[in-house]
C-alpha cells in the first residue's frame, strides 16, 4: 500500500505540474491572441 501511495503522490505531483504549465501556456496564448485582435 505504501508503494502505491507513493506512486499516486508522484503521479498527482507530475499531473499538477503539467496542468499548471498547460494553464500558463493557455493564458499566454490568450493574451497574445487578444493583443493581436486589438491591433487589427
pLDDT at site 4? 60
CA–CA distance, 39 with 17 (Å, rounded to integer): 33
pLDDT at site 8? 63
Which residue, among 17, 38, 20, 16, has the nearest Cα to 28 in the 3D structure? 20
Q: How confident is the model at residue 5 (pLDDT cuts 50, 70, 90)?
A: low
Please give the model's pTM, rounded to 2 decimal places: 0.56
Amino acid at each position: 500500500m505504501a508503494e502505491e501511495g507513493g506512486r499516486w503522490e508522484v503521479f498527482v505531483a507530475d499531473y499538477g505540474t503539467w496542468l499548471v504549465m498547460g494553464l500558463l501556456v493557455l493564458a499566454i496564448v490568450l493574451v497574445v491572441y487578444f493583443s493581436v485582435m486589438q491591433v487589427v
